[in-house]
Structure 1
Amino acid sequence: MGVLCNQDEGLSMNKHKRLAAALMLATASAFAQPMATTVKDVHLRAGPSRDFPVVAILGDGMQVTVEGCVPDYRWCDVVAGSSRGWVYAANIVHPYQGRQVPILGFGAVLGLGIVGFSVGSYWDRYYPADPWYAQRRLWIDRWLMPPPPGPRLMPDSRHRPGEGNRPGEGRRPPPAGTPRPLPAPHPRPPGADRPRDGHPQPPGDGRGDHRPPRADGPGTGPRPDRGERVPRDRAAP
């Protein structure tokens, strides 16, 4: 009986071990890093920019593990075999609703994590034996992580500029060939046409003849009336 009890205890322990191992596998699968696939030969770089040194060249169709991406999902930190680095997010795809979509443009929908980047700590961890590590100080001074995109500011509709203050509004010139409307005539006050000094107004628009008087000369004197006869002693010889 004692032997049977020991066998039962051994079977029970093995069963619990198998159950625990299955739970561990399920937990690991739940927290597994997402996988992506390269769509062409891709440069794996030492930072999230084309300016950084090339760590390796990943072939077309290679599986990589995505550790995270920068806030705008343009670059992602990936593990490819024994190499670690950054790839441009348009060059790797991820399964989504039965199709492969680029991480650039779909990173937020895919729920990929956001990670930061520091040249010093990243290079210290992954590239201490690489030739470009000697330029670490130069890259620290050169690289500045771009800020994440902020909210887009919208204009306040309560303070709209008045008509004519915005470009393209206000008074516009009439199109070519369109006659301009004449201004409305201003009414003349009563008595404006009445002569001031008793002399009649000259005909026309009332402005009179402003031509300078002719210089005196032969034949410029006043002409006699047609009905008036000139005396003989005043006649021309």
Structure 2
Amino acid sequence: MLKRLLTGLVALVGASAFAGAVQAATPSYTTANVNLRAGPGTVYPVLLTVPNGTAITTHGCLDGYNWCDVSWGTERGWMSASYIHITYQGQRRILTPALAPILGISVVVYDRRYWDRYYYGRPWYRNWDRYYRPPPQVAKPPRAVQPILPDRPRAQPPRPDRPRAVQPLPRANPPRAVQPLPRADRPRAVQPLPRATPPRANQPRAAQPLPRANQPRATQPRAGQPKAVQPRMGRASGQRRSG
């Protein structure tokens, strides 16, 4: 019962995807007898061989447009883009990366969901890991290196004049207290001039006593010598006293 439900679910998903793919389908033609494979590569199993000039339907291509998802009758598989012709401006041309976007052929992805949707129940269905190969990445041409240009100054739109805020006036610095000068620089106090001594009046000096004249000292009689007899003086000066 579970297996039937899973099978029905897979079929429903495949049908819805197929319906979306049909909307983007593009009529095409084969250019030779070409193999329709179960994946985008020669390692995948061959579903059948499509005859030359057969009308097929292209649903999309891998990035690079080297392999495309096509259908023929009831079979759905992958074919090399070099064997696909498309009609462009009334002429058949090889499908190329330049023409594919013009004709509306989109880029699709190949993965395990595609494998389960279209190849469930095939004899080689369980060999996905052996067949699967990631699609080769097509090297894209390098982009031209753009020179680095200096940044252009951007024009700034004129700004409306805004009233500027009134700045408060700076506060006046209070006068600083006068610092006393250092001692070395202090002016010295003016010394008063000495008072002039008034001249003294000439006063008579006190008479100084004259030095005494050296008077002859009285000769002292030596020992053994008779003393000299001094004459006696009378009352009257110069007269001797009569005897």
TM-score by length of 2: 0.47
TM-score by length of 1: 0.48
Structure with the higher helix share, 1 or 2: 1
State the structure with bigger RCO (CA 8 A, min sep 6), 1 or 2.
2
Report the structure number with the largest CA radius of gyration: 2
